[in-house]
Amino acid sequence: MEALTRVVLIGPQSTGKSELARRLSEHLDVPWCEEYAREYALANPRELTADDVEAIARGQMANEDAAEAALAILDTDLISTVVYARHYYGSCPEWIERAARARAADLYLLLDVDTPWVDDPARDSADKREELFAKFHLALQEFEVPFHIIRGDWNERQRLAKELIDALLRAES
């Protein structure tokens, strides 16, 4: 089986991960894997609990595994599940943390909170975006994965993301 290159867009809510994933996918003509937690939250319109974390992790892994291409753009991965489980429920099941390490992507693009908050039924509030950004930053360091912070307007975000992905692909060839 051919090795996959996976690039993950990660960060707090309403930082443009899905939009940037879609744009990069179109530009590079590769598939993108949508965030399962969002799909799960919309399908379960109630306050989620710690009991939902494992189902979200399994759904995220299934979405990622369905991306069969040499390069895939992922709108979050299990590290996001770890960060949110720890943030909302105080801990994360150990198997999810192990799976996050084993399934680590080739590059993480951590999107900053320098974008306007956009209301959405799958989001809670803008109140803790800075705190969550710091938690994502620490988790990426903890998991020892390669990452870069993406800031700026849409054009700057897209330009920097493309440059980083191009550099990754050149280094792998």
Instruction: Show me where the domains of the chain are located.
Output: 5-172
Sign of CA dihedral 157, 163, 166, 167: negative
Tens of pLDDT along the chain (173 residues) come to 355 799 999 999 889 899 999 999 999 999 889 999 989 999 998 899 999 999 999 999 999 988 878 899 999 999 999 999 999 999 999 999 999 999 999 999 999 999 877 766 555 655 688 999 999 999 999 999 999 999 999 899 999 999 999 999 999 87
Query: What's the CATH number of domain 5-172, 1.25.40.20, 2.60.40.1120, 3.40.50.300, 3.30.420.40?
Result: 3.40.50.300
Q: What is the pLDDT of residue 145?
A: 98
Q: What is the pLDDT of residue 115?
A: 83
DSSP string, 10-62: E-STTSSHHHHHHHHHHHHT--EEPPHHHHHHHHS-S---GGGHHHHHHHHHH
pTM: 0.93
